[in-house]
Amino acid sequence: MNFDKLIDHFKLDKQEFYFQFNSHPNYPSALAFSDTLNFLGLKNDAYELDKEYWDELPEEYMALVDNSFSLVKKKGNDFTIYSDKIKTLNKEELYKNSGDFVLLFEKTENVKTKSFFNFRPIIYLVFAIIILYSFLQFTWYESVFNLLSLVGVYISLELFNQKFGQESAVVSNICGGAANSSSQSSCSKIFSSDKTDVLGLKLSDFSLIYFLGITFVGLVLPQSQVILRITSMISVLVILYSFYVQAFVEKSLCRVCLVIIFVLLGQIALSSFYFSWEINMPVIFTSVILFISLFFTVAFLNNLMNQKEELKKSNSKNLRFKRNYDLFKRELTDNEKIEFSDQQTFFVGNIDAKLHISVVSNPYCGFCKDAHKIVEDLLLQYPDEISAQMRFNYSNERADEKYTRLISDFLSIYNNKSQKEFLNSVDIWFKNKDESEIRRKSGTENPQDLANIIQMTAENSSAGLNFTPVFIINGYQFPDKYDREDINYFISELIEDEDFPA
């Protein structure tokens, strides 16, 4: 399934979305899709809704259009559909091509957006510099030849990346420009029918090696026209092979292949009319070494990327098992339930929430920072569905004056200021570990009564909770077989599970 248009619309992290979706235990169901959006911070609810009620839906919602999860945006009497591509349907067409599945969502400030660095502007800048340098230093026909080489490099790079799941807008636009998706299928069929396999490299990979090689030769090596002329002539064999596959094997045209062929034909024409036959042995030797080096470099990168993809697929399959809610619930509730008193010191969130998380921690524990961050994010994402209590371990017999003062300041902030300010103070503490900063936030020099904190610590100790951090969910200790971060996978199901003991 292709969700690129949908992901781009919500500015989600594409790699994270596909990883979470593919590793969901119910992949590729509507539940997996809904849970993935929830995990990324796009809260949603799924319904089976008869078409007669669709007029009451909001301006934006998600539905299964042409068996694909799609964003539907109402504009007057028409509907814009964001799926594998963007299209516009009228009401009758939408209802005819859709099932009854509807997913309603709300945008929040906690959506996990794209987090990766975009290298494309840098690539475009490098290409622009190369083009400028070429036109300033070479003849017009050499400059045009180098420009065509860069076009070949760019398209070949896009094809190389597309092999490993990174969709290319350029390739999609070239191949999928028709009203239907058959052109795209033709491109895919041509690439899949390529039987070339030299150290795992396909013909499209050799295209990358070829264009990178002649780009370097054309820009860096002097008196290299003979090399460029010979390599251009050799490319005739590739053109003939490509035409043969398209015309007689698949009997369909691949548009991106035709673009590359036109680039090669342009270079053949330029080199034939304008390039000399002057032979320079050092240049020939250097060019051969360059092409050999590029071949093994691309082969190495190709093998590395293939291994990465295999590991990703294997990890996704393993995670489907690990993220199975029934297994998690069994592991969680197999532990003996811990009974705490009802005192509510450092209690945050919705007091009436069905799901309660206790965090046993120590302000000076290095690992506790991440545990508190997880709970704070959950409270932010599910403010009405969960509550939490920060259960700092503190003993007046063993604690020094600095620790006592810090706990007193936390208690002062909790008692006299909002929950948000208290959580913010805890967050700032774990970031900076500055006692004076927390003291300023408390705004008082008067020590607080720490009897409730001492009682909490005694309860923690009686339950054997001496090591920190520890999550307790409705009295059940978080299973050791799971990482603390895994709670994000199960939180929505814990909230919805009517049978989970309160």
pLDDT in tens, 63-122: 888 888 888 888 878 898 888 778 889 888 898 888 888 888 876 655 555 544 556 788
Report which of residues 422 and 166 the model is more confident about: 422
Q: What is the pLDDT of residue 266?
A: 93
First-to-last C-alpha distance (Å) of the chain: 38
What is residue 180's predicted lDDT score, i.e. its pLDDT? 40
- Comparing C-alpha atoms, which of 164, 155, 163, 173 is closest to residue 194? 163
What percent of the chain shows pLDDT beyond 90?
33
Query: Which pLDDT value is given to residue 67?
Result: 82
CA–CA distance, 243 with 252 (Å, rounded to integer): 10
Burial grade of 227 (CB within 10 A; 0-12, 13-18, 19 or more): buried
Report how far residue 471's alpha carbon sits from residue 238's, in angstroms, rounded to the nearest whole number.
Answer: 62
Q: What is the mean pLDDT of the chain?
A: 85
User: Beta strands 86-90 and 98-106: pairing type?
Assistant: unpaired
Q: Note the pLDDT of residue 107.
A: 64
The per-residue pLDDT for 183 is: 41
Handedness of CA 36, 39, 43, 49 (dihedral sign): positive
Out of 17-26, 120-129, 192-201, 346-355, pick the least confident.
Answer: 192-201
Tokens of 203: 């013909």
DSSP structure class, residue 485: G
Nearest to 241 by CA among 197, 174, 189, 190: 190
| CA neighbours closer than 13 Å in the CB half-sphere of residue 391 | 30
The mean pLDDT of 410-420, rounded to a whole number, is: 93
Q: Could you report the per-residue pLDDT of 41-71, keeping only the tens digit for each? A: 788 888 888 888 888 888 888 888 888 888 8
Q: Between the CA of residue 451 and those of 395, 447, 468, 480, what are the distances in Å?
A: 10, 12, 21, 31
From residue 175, alpha-carbon distances to 159, 167, 182 in Å are 12, 12, 9
179: pLDDT confidence band, cut at 50, 70 and 90? very low
Token digits for 363?
């302000």
Under 8 Å between Cβ of 13 and 115: yes
The closest alpha carbon to 432, from 363, 374, 378, belongs to 363
CATH 3.90.70.10 fits 4-106, yes or no: yes
Q: Higher pLDDT residue, 192 or 230?
A: 230
User: What per-residue confidence (pLDDT) applies to 119?
Assistant: 66
Provide the pLDDT confidence category of residue 198 given band limits of 50, 70 and 90.
Answer: confident
Ordered by start, the domain boundaries in the chain are 4-106, 120-310, 336-496
How buried is residue 174: exposed, middle or buried, by Cβ count under 10 Å (0-12/13-18/19+)?
buried
Q: How confident is the model at residue 10 (pLDDT cuts 50, 70, 90)?
A: confident
pLDDT band for position 252 (cuts 50, 70, 90): confident
What mean pLDDT is predicted for residues 478-486? 90
Residues 388, 375 contacting (CB under 8 angstroms): yes
Torsion angle, CA of 172/176/177/179, rounded to 10 degrees? Answer: -140
Q: Percent of the chain, pLDDT > 70?
A: 91
Mutual angle of helices 281-322 and 203-220, in 10-degree steps: 140
**For range 455-470, the mean pLDDT:** 89
Q: What is d(CA 193, CA 254) in angstroms, rounded to the nearest whole number? A: 12
Q: Is 402 left (phi over 0), alpha (psi -120 to 50) or beta?
A: alpha
Residue 169 has pLDDT above 80, yes or no: no
The dihedral sign for the CA sequence 134, 136, 139, 141: positive
pLDDT in tens, 278-308: 888 888 899 999 999 999 999 999 899 888 8
Q: Where are the alpha helices (DSSP H) in 221-280?
A: 225-244, 255-274
* Angstrom distance (rounded) from CA 187 to CA 250: 10
Cβ atoms of 139 and 410 closer than 8 Å: no
* Contact by Cβ (8 Å): 465, 349: no
Give pLDDT tens digits for 344-385. Answer: 899 999 989 999 999 999 998 888 999 999 999 999 988 899
Find out whether 152 and 172 touch, Cβ atoms under 8 Å.
Answer: no
pLDDT at 423: 93
How far apart (Å, rounded) are the C-alpha atoms in residues 173 and 329?
46
pLDDT score recorded for residue 177: 47
Peptide bond into 28 cis (omega under 30): yes
Q: How far is CA 196 from the centre of its chain?
A: 32
CA distance 155 to 123: 13
Sheet containing 43-48, strands listed edge to edge, beginning at the edge strand earlier in sequence = 43-48, 98-106, 60-65, 68-75, 78-82, 86-90
pLDDT band of residue 150 (cuts 50, 70, 90) is very high
**Cis previous bond, 479, omega within 30:** no
**Span of 187-196, 255-264, 493-502 with lowest mean pLDDT:** 187-196
In this predicted structure, the answer to whether residue 188 has a pLDDT above a threshold of 80 is no
Q: Phi-psi region for residue 155, left (φ > 0), alpha (ψ -120 to 50) or beta?
A: alpha
- Read off the pLDDT band of 181 (50, 70, 90): very low
Using alpha carbons only, how large is the chain's radius of gyration in Å?
31
- Non-local (6+) Cβ contacts of 87 within 8 A are 80, 81
pLDDT band, residue 143 (cuts 50/70/90): very high
120-310 architecture in CATH?
Up-down Bundle (1.20)
What is the CATH T-level fold of the domain 336-496, as seen in this structure?
A: Glutaredoxin (3.40.30)
